[in-house]
Amino acid sequence: MEIYGEIKGIKYKPFLCKSLRVYDVSELDKALLERASFILKVNKKNKIAVSWWVSPKRTRSYPYARVYDTLSFAGKKVTIIPIIKDEGKDGDRDFLQWDTISLMSLLGVYVIVGYYVKAEKNPKYVNKITNQKFDVKHIKNKIQNLLSYQSDALHWNLEQIDNIPKMAEKAFRAYKRIAKDLKVEMHSFDSARRRIEALHRGKTKFMQLSREHARKAQIRESTTMQPKEYLTGNKAMITIKNYLGGCYFFTCDEVEVHRNKLYLVEGKHTRTGILPSQGDIKDGLIKMILFTNLEKVTVGKRKYKPIPVLKLTARRAFK
């Protein structure tokens, strides 16, 4: 089943956000070490809510949960995402995707594209690094720029895409230095550069490239049933179009049709606990924010009323 829908605006009221600790901007290094999400006091008048991603890949370290915890903050919400994370030849390598920036824009979250400049050698592998650290000076500069920025998150995020090639080159130089200092072999810089070079032709090409990868991932996921999920319906692909004409590709774990109602179910399961972890639940709630704001939902030529459902299951019985 292929589902199509539109989003013209996002409305939500989060209830599970953590109480965020406040750090002074001079303590940004400390904040990034101690918290996944926090409030940053930039000066006497300005505070921002900050989250950061360990990797640009959305399936690692619950980045959506980190962002979710900042959504109740009344001021500007910022998330820091590395343009690339290379763990070395014996590890993974992930690149920033346009769809990630698009989703953050829909949620009203300002993206700061960062890059790693420090790391430690992973003791278990010859060519793998760990404990990577951001260029904090770069992040502080971006935060200062953001304080005087008056447009919305969408326009800020689109402007950040124009700086992608420059950020990528800084990331490559940093990884070359890390590789030399730690005596580890990284993934091919030539193949990474070919991936980034496509972005030099502008953000339109960047969008096309990233969407192509996201579309392929969506198709793969829609045909795979995860053994950890207790689901009874069929998986489906959902293409969401925003007011600018941008398309976002997602999968829905379970879909059921009852007359004119289309139940969109996001499933979270735990093997050990009574309920799935808060990280899993918040990850699912980000999807719920999207699904609850869907309009003009169709399958083929038929229109449906979407009914979003977050389905929590456990191996242990509820008491």
Give the start-to-end residue ranges of the domains of the chain.
Answer: 11-217, 224-314
Note the CATH architecture for domain 224-314. Answer: 2-Layer Sandwich (3.30)
Among the listed residues 163, 176, 166, the one whose alpha carbon sits nearest the alpha carbon of residue 129: 176
Q: Structure pTM? A: 0.86
pLDDT value at residue 116: 98
Q: Residue 109 has what pLDDT? A: 95
Q: What is the pLDDT of residue 227?
A: 47
Rg (CA), the chain: 20
Task: Output phi, psi for 199, to 5 deg.
Answer: -75, -20
DSSP code, position 31: H
Element of type H or E holding 157: helix 153-162
pLDDT in tens, the chain (319 residues): 889 999 888 888 999 999 999 999 999 999 999 999 999 999 999 999 999 999 998 877 889 999 999 999 999 999 999 999 999 999 999 998 877 888 898 889 999 999 999 999 999 999 999 999 999 999 999 999 999 998 889 889 988 888 888 899 999 999 999 999 999 999 998 888 877 776 555 566 656 655 666 666 667 666 655 545 555 668 888 988 877 666 777 888 899 999 999 999 999 988 888 889 889 999 999 989 999 999 999 998 899 999 999 999 988 776 5
Q: How far apart are CA 84 and CA 73, in angstroms?
A: 28
Among 5, 2, 1, residue whose Cα is nearest residue 308: 5
Cα three-residue angle 226-230-231, rounded to 5 degrees? 85
> What is the distance between the alpha carbons of residues 253 and 266, in angstroms, rounded to a whole number?
5
Residues 6+ apart with CB under 8 A from 245: none
State both tokens at 157: 């995020």
Nearest to 2 by CA among 197, 233, 200, 235: 235
H helix or E strand, kind and range, residue 204: helix 203-222
Whole-angstrom distance, CA of residue 146 vs CA of residue 261? 42
pLDDT reported for residue 101: 85
